[in-house]
Amino acid sequence: MTGFSLLELLVSMFILALGLLGIETLEIQAANMAVTAYQHSLAQQAIANIRERIYFAPTDMTTQIMQWQMEIAELLPKGQGKVSGTYPNYQLQVCWFTKGLKTCTKQVSHY
């Protein structure tokens, strides 16, 4: 009995296919996590942006907030920005939807 039988060859090909499928699944998950990390980064930048706008122009907040909300809607999928509270304490929130799931980033600012 020398060489491989057809059954041994089929089993080894099946094991190889399972391994390749596992590697592909990991690649897909890594790509999804990279997109999520990028979106979180955009949300943090948007929060820093409105925090600076409020700090430097506290009298013109309504216009600043409306403009900021329009920017978030363009940056993130179904992006929404919310500013609540009164001067000098604000709660800033950015939410967006990814694959049907709502994700939010919040931050409290004190001036």
Q: How many structural domains does the chain have?
A: 1
Q: What is the pLDDT of residue 1?
A: 61
Does some domain include residue 75? Answer: yes
Range of the domain at 31: 6-110
Q: 1 in a domain, yes or no?
A: no
CA 75 to chain centre: 11
Whether 16 is covered by a domain: the verdict is yes
Question: Is 11 inside a domain boundary?
Answer: yes
pLDDT in tens, the chain (111 residues): 667 788 898 999 999 999 999 999 999 999 999 999 999 999 999 999 998 888 887 777 888 899 999 999 999 999 999 998 877 788 999 999 988 888 888 888 766
Q: How far is CA 60 from the centre of its chain?
A: 30
Q: Report the CATH number at residue 59.
A: 3.30.1300
Model pTM score: 0.76
Whether 45 maps to a domain, the answer reads yes
| Residue 79 covered by a domain | yes
Please list, in sequence order, all residues whose beta carbon lies within 8 angstroms of the beta carbon of residue 81, skipping any fewer than 6 positions away.
46, 50, 65, 68, 69, 72, 92, 93, 94
Residue 30 falls inside a structural domain: yes
Phi and psi, residue 87, nearest 5°: -60, 135
Q: Do 29 and 22 meet the contact criterion of CB atoms below 8 Å apart?
A: no
Q: Which pLDDT value is given to residue 54?
A: 84
